[in-house]
Chain A
Amino acid sequence: MLSGALAAIALAALVAGVAGAWSPCGFSMVDTIGTALGDVRRSTMTLATVTFTVGALAGGAVTFGGLALVGSLLGGGAGGLRDAVAAALALAAAAADWRGLRIAPQIRRQVPERWRWIMPLPLACALYGVLLGLGFTTFVLSFAVWALAGMSFAAGSLAFGLIAGVAFGAGRALPVLWIAPRLRREDGQRALDRLALEPRMWLGLRRVDAIALSFCALLLGGAAATAAPAPALSHFGTDPSAAGKALVWERPTTGGWLARPSGTSRIPGRYPAIGGGRFAWIAADGAITVAARFPAPSPRVLPTPAGASVDGLAVSRYWLVVRDQGSHGVANLFAVSLADPKRRVYLQGAGLPGAIGRPSLSGSHVVWTYSDSLRSTLYEVNLATGARSILLQSVRNVLYSNPSLAGRRLLYERTDRCAQDVLLGSSAAAAHARVILTLPSIVTRDPGYQPGYVQNYNTASLCHSRRTGPGATTTLGPTALGATTAWVSESPPNAGATRILAVAI
């Protein structure tokens, strides 16, 4: 989700909350708190204002955050569709609010008046705040509220929902905070009267909402277009590699493909890679092929390692990194200088197939993972200087895999017993990356107790991010990192049906 869209959402939610002041409950709240603000009980009333605000914030967070959470639980992996649905909702609500259409469906309910009499005022106001913050327990005063609810659900992003919810709650509290403290003064009364007598202010706010929602729809629509896979990517594919606006990938049965703004074309080979203005692939006869453009009338052919087959490539302007697999199961990772192919840098060897992960190259920096039963490590080597560093390492619980490097930006996957995460950060501080995509782990988990016995004290055995029973059916695979998009392979149990997902970043 774009940060601009989040800002627009926050503004729309805030204004939608403020617009709620024109509801019966909105007026009641100002009056309930404001008229009791006497000198004698000022501290109590101030506390009531605070509790009302906290309640409104919490209520908003619960409603919109909850909807987002439910949306996220209904499944991920359709970021483009989600953004498109959210954009459509925003646009529809913007049109309706701009025209000032009568709100429908309307919720003709009010907060319980008796709370005001039977409870301490701060407590009653806290509960009133919660009800108003929830949004749909009392009158709705703009279509934006409905749209925000639908958008939170469609976005399936807890951050989205919480931002919308907190902003909405703040909006509901603002009129109270603004008017209630001075309601016993003339200017306060005047302000309240103006609210009650000026529906044009309410309509004006709805128009502000419409503008914010339109802006939001615009950004979300753009994100949807960015996130939507290129047509060819709707088919199965894996091993993405990105540079600028170009993306290459492997389609298991047909080999490599290249997608550019000008169109999609087939690469005559497997394991395609792109970077630094170079294309690389393994030709049908097994030769490593490098070209400066594509189609390549006279590509450069590099010798293939003797007695081994290549199953991974990464390329930049001056370097090519090759992962091969010998007939005896020994795998190697090495770099070849494109300026002087005789110059090679040995990077890693492994006696266990699969231990060396797919490499990624940016300039002269190469990253890859090496994992066995003792540790999982994400390495980086500067091929120009030979400097080798460990970006991440775990000796228990965690597997690092499928890194992609673009400049100093680093994309990688982190898998533990509960979840599979895709993280984006910097190679200078890889451990402080942010999660941009998460899936439940694929393993079957028991509930941590045997049926028939007392079940307790086993919370450490559980995963808070997933239920017990069979895990997800999708395994995260190779990645690529573009300027505004991260590309992630997702494999179902049938690995031949692997797809590449685009995630806007």
Chain B
Amino acid sequence: MPSEERRERSLSDEVARSSSRRGFLERLGGAVIALAGAPAVTAALLPADAQAEAYTNFCGHTYTTGNCPAPTGLPRIDRNGYPLRASDGVPVDDLGRPVNSRDQPVDAQGNVLTDADGVPLAPAPRTKVCETAGHDYRVDLSLDGSWYRCCGGTVRRIRDCCGDTNVRINGDAALPGYCYPGRHVFCVTYFETSMPC
């Protein structure tokens, strides 16, 4: 990352760090202005299009906190926090293998994978991405608050993986993000809703 850009992002992080709830003032301001009946002013003063923001790593993720480690790369999760393959939303186990509803590894057609004897391959643990990140980094983590953004035609829920920590996965100071009061974002995940936008 160029140093200027890095400085800018550090500054934005600093701003976010000094705020207890990111975007609260932004939304409050928007509401006040909108109530005043000045949509043109709203458009001029506030970010017009969420997609136009410079997201980090994946659509919808502002600021610079790193991804939670996920089995296939991008930290896409289901509504319960279990890992999904980002490209198509297929459930995967902790090894990144697509699995069926019984958590057995399956091929692209959904057939249970077998060994050379025809015996199904062993299932592997399938754990929640946020909690597992916490275990890996020795921090007690859970999914706290969220923010929603329009990404690729559907509403995406950005879910912060939070804990009582002042350090994030990047190794530097953690932001409040969407975490509950007093907690900070350790890493980020996202959930793809079914809502078109």
Binding site for B on A (CB under 8 A): 236, 238-239, 250, 252, 271, 311-312, 325, 352-355, 357, 369, 371-376, 394-399, 401, 415-417, 441-450, 453-462, 468, 471, 475, 477-478, 489, 491, 495-496, 498
Partner of A460, one of B68, B72, B119: B68
Q: List 27 A-B contacts (CB under 8 A).
A: A250-B116, A311-B118, A352-B104, A354-B120, A371-B124, A395-B127, A396-B127, A396-B132, A443-B96, A444-B85, A446-B74, A448-B73, A449-B56, A453-B54, A453-B56, A456-B57, A456-B66, A457-B64, A457-B66, A457-B169, A460-B133, A460-B169, A462-B73, A471-B96, A477-B116, A489-B116, A495-B115
A498 to B65, CA, bound (A): 43
B64 cross-chain contacts in A, Cβ below 8 A: 456-457
B1 cross-chain contacts in A, Cβ below 8 A: 454, 456
B103 contacts A by Cβ under 8 Å: yes
Asked if A448 and B125 sit within 8 Å, CB to CB, the answer is no
B102 cross-chain contacts in A, Cβ below 8 A: 352
Asked if A461 and B73 sit within 8 Å, CB to CB, the answer is yes
A495 to B92, CA, bound (A): 21
Partner of B122, one of A357, A449, A457: A357
A372 cross-chain contacts in B, Cβ below 8 A: 103, 123, 125
B21 contacts A by Cβ under 8 Å: no
B97 cross-chain contacts in A, Cβ below 8 A: 442-443
Asked if B94 and A417 sit within 8 Å, CB to CB, the answer is yes
Asked if A238 and B115 sit within 8 Å, CB to CB, the answer is yes
Known A446-B87, A477-B116; further 13 A-B contacts with Cβ < 8 A: A252-B117, A311-B118, A355-B123, A369-B122, A371-B122, A396-B135, A443-B96, A448-B57, A453-B57, A454-B56, A457-B66, A461-B66, A496-B116
B87 cross-chain contacts in A, Cβ below 8 A: 444, 446
What is the number of residues of chain B that contact chain A, defined by CB distance less than 8 Å? 55
A461 to B65, CA, bound (A): 12
Asked if A446 and B86 sit within 8 Å, CB to CB, the answer is yes
A447 to B58, CA, bound (A): 11
Q: How far is the CB of A310 from chain B (nearest CB, A)?
A: 11
**Which B149-163 residues have C-beta < 8 A from chain A?**
none
Given A399-B122, A448-B57, A454-B57, does the pair A460, B117 have CB atoms closer than 8 Å?
Answer: no
A161 to B97, CA, bound (A): 34
Interface of B is mostly: loop
Asked if A449 and B94 sit within 8 Å, CB to CB, the answer is no
Highest count of chain B CB atoms <10 Å: which of A325, A394, A443, A447: A443
Q: Mark B25-55, 1 if CB is under 8 A from A, else 0.
A: 0000000000000000000000000000011
Q: How far is the CB of A243 from chain B (nearest CB, A)?
A: 21
Given A397-B127, A415-B124, A444-B72, does the pair A495, B114 have CB atoms closer than 8 Å?
Answer: yes
Given A446-B72, A461-B67, does the pair A397, B116 have CB atoms closer than 8 Å?
Answer: no
Given A373-B126, A416-B95, A461-B69, does the pair A450, B74 have CB atoms closer than 8 Å?
Answer: yes
Among residues of B, the one whose C-beta sits closest to the C-beta of A351 is B102
Given A415-B124, A461-B75, does the pair A398, B94 have CB atoms closer than 8 Å?
Answer: yes
A443 cross-chain contacts in B, Cβ below 8 A: 71-72, 92, 95-97
Q: Closest 3 A-B residue pairs measured CB to CB?
A: A354-B120, A443-B96, A373-B103
Asked if A354 and B123 sit within 8 Å, CB to CB, the answer is yes
Among residues of B, the one whose C-beta sits closest to the C-beta of A455 is B57
Highest count of chain B CB atoms <10 Å: which of A252, A357, A444, A457: A457
B96 cross-chain contacts in A, Cβ below 8 A: 417, 441, 443-445, 471
Asked if B117 and A271 sit within 8 Å, CB to CB, the answer is yes
B85 cross-chain contacts in A, Cβ below 8 A: 444
A371 cross-chain contacts in B, Cβ below 8 A: 122-125
Among residues of A, the one whose C-beta sits closest to the C-beta of B5 is A454
A395 to B68, CA, bound (A): 18
Asked if B56 and A491 sit within 8 Å, CB to CB, the answer is no
Asked if B135 and A353 sit within 8 Å, CB to CB, the answer is no
A448 to B86, CA, bound (A): 9
A373 cross-chain contacts in B, Cβ below 8 A: 93, 99, 103, 123-126
Asked if B170 and A457 sit within 8 Å, CB to CB, the answer is yes
Among residues of B, the one whose C-beta sits closest to the C-beta of A463 is B73
A395 to B187, CA, bound (A): 21
Asked if B56 and A457 sit within 8 Å, CB to CB, the answer is yes
A477 cross-chain contacts in B, Cβ below 8 A: 115-116
A375 cross-chain contacts in B, Cβ below 8 A: 125
Given A373-B93, A443-B95, A496-B116, does the pair A355, B74 have CB atoms closer than 8 Å?
Answer: no
Partner of A458, one of B66, B93, B116, B125: B66
Asked if B72 and A417 sit within 8 Å, CB to CB, the answer is yes
Given A311-B119, A371-B123, A395-B127, does the pair A453, B55 have CB atoms closer than 8 Å?
Answer: yes
B121 contacts A by Cβ under 8 Å: yes
Asked if A461 and B125 sit within 8 Å, CB to CB, the answer is no
Asked if A415 and B58 sit within 8 Å, CB to CB, the answer is no
Q: Mark B178-197, 1 if CB is under 8 A from A, else 0.
A: 00000000010000000000
B116 cross-chain contacts in A, Cβ below 8 A: 236, 238-239, 250, 252, 477, 489, 491, 495-496, 498
B59 contacts A by Cβ under 8 Å: yes
B74 cross-chain contacts in A, Cβ below 8 A: 446, 448-450, 461
Among residues of B, the one whose C-beta sits closest to the C-beta of A369 is B122
B77 contacts A by Cβ under 8 Å: no
B136 contacts A by Cβ under 8 Å: yes
Among residues of A, the one whose C-beta sits closest to the C-beta of B66 is A457
Asked if B121 and A354 sit within 8 Å, CB to CB, the answer is yes
Partner of B72, one of A312, A374, A445: A445
Given A354-B104, A450-B59, does the pair A457, B117 have CB atoms closer than 8 Å?
Answer: no
Among residues of A, the one whose C-beta sits closest to the C-beta of B172 is A457
B70 contacts A by Cβ under 8 Å: yes
Q: How far is the CB of B66 from chain A (nearest CB, A)?
A: 4
Asked if B70 and A457 sit within 8 Å, CB to CB, the answer is no
B120 cross-chain contacts in A, Cβ below 8 A: 352-354
